């Protein structure tokens, strides 16, 4: 299913920037930093990019995978809807190539702390990705 169909299926108008965002993020299969999205989509006004990202987060197409040093990494949601966001996955950042990816886990990670009710858990792991390990 291509980008326009995905948008239609979820009741969103098919616009150039939405298709471009989905394609840009689909290619890489990794989380993209805002700065890179901005570059790739520099044809569009940055306000439009900003607002489009808001909409697509709200509709459950994408999510913020990581905020680090002022840069925000966005990733495609493979299992989220506008209502339910499943986050049984880990965000992994490679210290060498700076790539960020979503890793899905078989078993959800649980955590319980006395007196506090925990609703969501986000996990960010850092290390060396498989590609960079081979390169060294």
Choosing among a copy of itself, DNA, none, which partner's interface includes residue 50 (Cβ < 5 to 8 Å by kind)?
DNA
Applying CB under 8 A, among 14, 35, 108, 127 the residue interacting with a copy of itself is 127
Q: Is 5 in the site for DNA (CB under 7 A)?
A: no
Binding of DNA by 14 (CB under 7 A):
yes
Distance CA 52, CA 18 (A): 7
97 touches a copy of itself by CB under 8 A: no
Contact flag: residue 39 with a copy of itself (CB under 8 A): no
Inter-CA distances, 79 with 13, 48, 68, 83, 112, Å: 21, 26, 24, 11, 24
SS3 for 56? helix
Q: How many CB atoms lie within 10 A of CB 104?
A: 10
26 binds, among DNA, a copy of itself, none (CB under 5 to 8 A by kind): none
Query: Cα(59)–Cα(9) distance, rounded to whole angstroms?
Result: 12
Closest CB 118 distance from DNA, rounded Å = 25
Q: For a copy of itself, which stretch binds (CB under 8 A), given 11-19, 23-31, 74-82, 115-123?
A: 115-123
Dihedral in degrees, nearest 10, Cα atoms 104, 110, 116, 117: 70
Q: Which of residues 69-128 bind DNA (CB under 7 A)?
A: 69-72
State how far the Cα of 34 lies from the Cα of 66, in Å rounded to an integer. Answer: 11
Which residues form the interface with DNA (CB under 7 A)? 7-8, 12-18, 34-35, 38, 43-48, 50-52, 55, 69-72
């Amino acid at each position: 299913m291509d980008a326009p169909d995905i948008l239609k299926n979820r009741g969103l108008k098919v616009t150039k920037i939405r298709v471009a965002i989905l394609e840009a993020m689909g290619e890489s299969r990794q989380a993209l930093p805002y700065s890179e999205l901005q570059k790739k989509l520099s044809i569009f006004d940055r306000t439009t990019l900003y607002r489009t990202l808001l909409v697509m987060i709200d509709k459950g197409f994408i999510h913020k995978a990581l905020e680090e040093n002022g840069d925000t990494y966005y990733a495609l949601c493979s299992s989220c809807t506008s209502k339910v966001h499943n986050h049984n996955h880990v965000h992994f950042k490679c210290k060498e190539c700076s790539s960020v990816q979503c890793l899905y886990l078989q078993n959800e990670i649980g955590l319980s702390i006395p007196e506090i009710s925990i609703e969501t858990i986000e996990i960010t792991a850092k290390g060396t990705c498989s590609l960079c390990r081979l390169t060294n």
